[in-house]
Amino acid sequence: MPPALSLSRVAGWFHGGHGSNDGESWTELDRRTDIQWACQTNRRSFEVSSPGYYPRYRISIERVGDPARNKVAIAQVEWLGLEEP
């Protein structure tokens, strides 16, 4: 995962980011808990605690912001910084 990640319009809590070379074994690169979003159009950037280059990335969402609606919306994910070796 690059050294920084920018998310916008996320409804829910960003739980963690993982990287994988094969899509089977995943390495945790960053973890966040209880991140509140001020509004639906809010954009947040996070410095990744253990950046690294992987051909595959995934983002885990632990729970949604509004359990009654039971959905997560991510309008944009932007990877910042690290180039392919």
Spacing of C-alpha 76 from chain mean position: 10
User: 51 in helix, strand or coil?
Assistant: coil
The answer to whether 77 and 6 are in contact (CB under 8 A) is yes
- The model's pLDDT over 41-80, given as tens digits with 9 standing for 90+, comes to 777 777 888 888 888 988 887 776 667 777 777 777 777 7
Question: Order of strands, edge to edge, in the sheet holding 13-20?
Answer: 27-31, 13-20, 56-63
Q: What is the pTM of this model?
A: 0.66
The answer to whether 3 and 81 are in contact (CB under 8 A) is yes
Mean pLDDT, rounded, for 23-36: 85
